[in-house]
Structure 1
């Protein structure tokens, strides 16, 4: 029976059970206690497990280095689900203390399984939103990595911070405007669109794009910004028509 097949009260009881088991395992330094939850086939069981790690760390119930020791043991698992959950657990810690878990992300950026790499992207998002200075500083070092997938993952990972503080990530995104790989450039365009439809962000994004050199990419990004305001019209602050008017008034068209 899956997590959401349970009643609300049953889910609360299960989370409490997971929290207790995780706490005991961390106190004992025993990764085997955590393993059943970290490798569970149900996404929400695994989520409860990695959130439990964050609760223990935040409450200071177990020494941070002891938690890290258990997570390092779990990271050696052959199971991609275990590694994925471990990355997400590290991300919970990284929201307040990124240097403590930095090595997890340096390693798992290159994991053989896409679900683990996706967990890295998700963790960079949540860490970058809450703890931007060290996370974005670290991310910047990978913007010109030889591996195109690393560049793409970093581009995608810093997106969430940009939705509230676009000025923090736009200088990093600018470095990717001439990326030789279409997949990376397309991710960059996607991220610009995702930022621009959030409250207060459109002006900052358009003003920044006025200073980018890659005219072709900028125009594709502007098209994406207009389109995303239609796709997400129930969530966007401005209508698509208002956005088109704003771009016409504020984007400085340059000659070919």
Structure 2
């Protein structure tokens, strides 16, 4: 039964034209006893929420409740879903933002990875909420898991493109990682974060320069 339902959700995932009308049905599966089905439903609700945030809004509290689940996969998927919904409308996930941040220290590397990915999604359109959160991501730059370390610099790249002043205090650390990390992808991503931050800084003239240009 679970396999049949899982395949059904897979087919639904492919047909975005019927997503909106199926949001209540998919949300009902959050109560499914199978973690595999619940996880799939949660992931799909996240993707639906990116397109139809207001229609998914009634279910965000239930999605966020899985942040404290004992199941690693469900914690992973709640991060995925909240990230996508939050990218579309941060206000819908704002009540759960502090809880979401707690996943940065999760025991599962997959959850930590999904947390970074979710944060990148939210920061794309609502970067200001991360102004005081950079120490959390700086810690993840040194994560013992390679995949987490590969993704961590991407958060600095996303923020560096939008608010370079958030990232400037971490440029020295990123430079060190870009030179010394044993994993090439980590080094490449660190260089990308540095480049995004510096290029944005160069493109933005300071107030004096702007005044001269006006004159």
TM-score class, shorter-chain normalisation, is 0.5 to 0.7
CA contact (8 A) 1:38 1:85 kept: no
TM-superposed deviation, 1:107: 1.8
What stretches of structure 2 of length at least 5 have no aligned partner?
203-215
CA contact (8 A) 2:157 2:194 kept: no
Specify which structure has the higher proportion of helix. Answer: 2
* Inter-partner Cα distance in structure 1 for 2:194 and 2:172: 18
Q: Does 1:32 align with 2:31?
A: yes
Give the aligned partner of residue 11 of structure 1: 14
Give the 5 Å matches for 1:83-232. Answer: 83-95=75-87, 96-97=89-90, 99-135=94-130, 137-142=131-136, 148-149=142-143, 154-162=152-160, 164-165=161-162, 167-174=164-171, 176=173, 183=181, 189-195=187-193, 204=199
* Inter-partner Cα distance in structure 2 for 1:195 and 1:11: 33
What SS class does the counterpart of residue 142 from structure 1 fall into? helix
CA contact (8 A) 1:38 1:81 kept: no
What stretches of structure 1 of length at least 5 have no aligned partner?
208-256
Give the aligned partner of residue 49 of structure 1: 45
The alignment covers a number of residue pairs equal to 187
What TM-score results when the alignment is normalised by the length of structure 1?
0.52
CA contact (8 A) 1:87 1:120 kept: yes
CA RMSD of aligned residues (A): 4.6
- Assess, with a 3 A threshold, how the Cα gap between structure 1 residues 94 and 204 changes in structure 2: closer, same or farther: same
What SS class does the counterpart of residue 136 from structure 2 fall into? coil
Larger radius of gyration: 1
Residues 86-121 of structure 1: CA deviation (Å, up to 9, x unaligned): 101111232232633312322211222111111111
Residues 209-235 of structure 1: CA deviation (Å, up to 9, x unaligned): xxxxxxxxxxxxxxxxxxxxxxxxxxx
